[in-house]
């Protein structure tokens, strides 16, 4: 199913949203000001991603790198590129999360310690945010743990709220799963045979125990998957609600509808899958930005700190000695076999004789004061656009090339300036498999490009 469906409107008398548990704090509504008479402003729709620093499962999970991008970065990219929000916010209590949020272009609300406890609810944090932002009329609460969210989903939900008059819309996914009633421990057998003595006779008793019951199927007529529509489940990706509902303590209610997301886009790292599987799903189905990916034809790699670990050894006769990881050499070989040109660059006056001894068979330029100019010259020489160029760098001198390239990456130990300029941060350090890892990332994305061209 390529297009998603929206559910029929429903009115409920006591509609409590899934993210809220317990009694919410009272909302303090401030008086509005500054609105001219006779001119009605469009309702202010704010995206709000809740991201506490504390996590019982994975420390700082919200900014842990998933497929080379901080987890929260995936939903921030989708929210910002959707173009439907007047403001995009991250509510957090942690400095590192604040820094990542600002790098992606979001505004930050520093939440209080009262709404940052393990016992605090999503609704508590949303109400606190609204207390400080009287201009907001509608909140789109987006879960940071839904990295396959796409801007088109958010655009359609915004239209449902603004144009079709819904008070609340939440995301669901269709599942084809048969459900059965739960049996308490010790009651799993339908019959329990026991013996007892009575007047010298042995009496055999068959005691009836509780049995499981089907909840959504007839076992005698099990439907085939293609003959059954399945059921809708909340997937937790987002909850949109108007301010007056939140004032009453609800995230779901009023004129209410669901929005059905595609199954492949419905990923919840808190519940469904572990991190490595999530990375594979994101690389295949995630949103990578407004501009379509193009097939990579050229990879440029900085030598010091990327191909090597940056360490230089000098022999007794003053000859330079460097080391590299064989995994990276294999990565270069695989790239070349797939038709991708690999070239090496360095701002340092490296020994070409030493580099040639590595037998990587790559064109290289050393002692380069302006890397961007050299890479641009290579690009033009090959008749490529920047979207067809990948760049792996690690230093301040690589920043402009990283920003220009269609695909950009840095080793895990790259400087902070380089890390802020890229779309992919390797798990491996420079000279320790980062180039091979980046090559694998390129292959996965190229598979995505090929699949999109075949559709």
337: CB partners within 8 A, 6+ apart:
none
Task: Give start-end residues of each CATH 3.40.50.1000 domain in the chain.
Answer: 298-454
Instruction: List the Cα angle 13/19/25 in 5-degree steps.
Output: 75
CA distances from 285 to 144, 147, 264, 303, 438 (A): 16, 9, 7, 32, 19
Question: 347 with 397: CB under 8 angstroms?
Answer: yes
Task: Give start-end residues of each CATH 3.90.550.10 domain in the chain.
Answer: 45-177+228-285
Domain 298-454 has CATH 3.40.50.1000: yes
Q: How far apart, in whole angstroms, are the C-alpha atoms of residue 347 and residue 345?
A: 7
Residues in the chain: 455
343 catalytically annotated: no
Q: What is the pLDDT along the chain (455 residues), one digit of tens a residue?
A: 444 455 544 433 333 344 443 444 444 444 444 444 455 788 999 999 999 887 666 778 899 888 888 999 999 999 999 999 999 999 999 999 999 999 899 999 999 988 888 888 999 999 999 999 999 999 999 999 999 999 999 999 999 999 999 999 999 999 888 888 888 776 545 445 555 555 555 555 555 557 888 888 888 888 888 878 888 899 999 999 999 999 999 999 999 999 999 998 988 886 545 788 888 888 888 898 877 778 899 999 999 999 998 887 777 776 777 778 899 999 999 999 999 999 999 998 876 666 776 778 889 899 999 999 999 999 999 999 999 999 999 999 999 999 999 999 999 999 989 988 888 899 899 999 999 999 998 988 887 777 666 55
Q: Out of 18, 29, 222, 348, pick the active-site residue.
A: 222
Pick the CATH number of 45-177+228-285 from 3.30.300.30, 3.20.20.70, 3.40.50.960, 3.90.550.10: 3.90.550.10
């Amino acid at each position: 199913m390529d297009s998603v469906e929206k559910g029929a409107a429903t009115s409920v008398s006591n509609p409590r949203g899934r993210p809220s548990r317990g009694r919410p704090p009272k909302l303090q509504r401030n008086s509005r000001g500054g609105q001219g008479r006779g001119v009605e402003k469009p309702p202010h729709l704010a995206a709000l991603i809740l991201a506490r620093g504390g996590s019982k499962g994975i420390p700082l999970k919200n900014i842990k790198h998933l497929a080379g991008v901080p987890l929260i970065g995936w939903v921030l990219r989708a929210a910002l590129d959707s173009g439907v929000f007047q403001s995009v916010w991250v509510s957090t209590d942690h400095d590192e999360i604040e820094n990542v949020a600002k790098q992606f272009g979001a505004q930050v609300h520093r939440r209080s310690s009262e709404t940052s406890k393990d016992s605090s609810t999503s609704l508590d944090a949303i109400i606190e945010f609204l207390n400080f932002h009287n201009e907001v009329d509608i909140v789109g609460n987006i879960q940071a743990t839904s990295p396959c969210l796409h801007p088109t989903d958010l655009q359609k939900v915004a239209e449902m709220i603004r144009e079709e008059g819904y008070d609340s819309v939440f995301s669901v996914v269709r599942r084809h799963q048969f459900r059965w009633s739960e049996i308490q421990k010790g009651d799993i057998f339908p019959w329990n045979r026991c013996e007892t003595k009575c007047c010298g006779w042995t009496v055999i008793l068959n005691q009836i125990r509780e049995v499981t019951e089907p909840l959504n199927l007839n076992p005698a007529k099990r439907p085939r998957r293609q003959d059954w529509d399945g059921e809708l489940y909340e997937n937790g990706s987002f909850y949109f609600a108007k301010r007056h509902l939140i004032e009453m303590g609800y995230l779901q209610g009023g004129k209410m509808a669901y929005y059905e997301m595609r199954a492949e886009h419905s990923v919840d790292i808190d519940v469904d899958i572990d991190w490595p599987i999530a990375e594979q799903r994101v690389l295949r189905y995630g949103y990578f930005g407004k501009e379509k990916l193009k097939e990579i034809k050229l990879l440029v790699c900085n030598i010091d700190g990327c191909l090597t670990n940056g360490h230089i050894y000098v022999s007794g006769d003053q000859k330079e000695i460097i080391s590299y990881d064989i995994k990276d050499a294999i990565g270069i070989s695989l790239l070349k076999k797939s038709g991708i040109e690999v070239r090496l660059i360095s701002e340092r006056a490296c020994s070409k004789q030493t580099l040639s001894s590595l037998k990587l068979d790559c064109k290289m330029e050393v002692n380069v004061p302006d890397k961007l100019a050299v890479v641009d010259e290579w690009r033009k020489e090959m008749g490529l656009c920047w979207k067809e160029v990948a760049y792996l760098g690690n230093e301040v001198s690589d920043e402009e090339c990283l920003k220009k390239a269609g695909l950009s990456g840095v080793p895990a130990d790259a400087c902070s300036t380089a890390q802020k300029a890229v779309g992919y941060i390797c798990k491996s350090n420079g000279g320790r498999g980062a180039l091979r890892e980046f090559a694998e990332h390129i292959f996965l994305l190229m598979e995505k490009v090929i699949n999109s061209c075949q559709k």
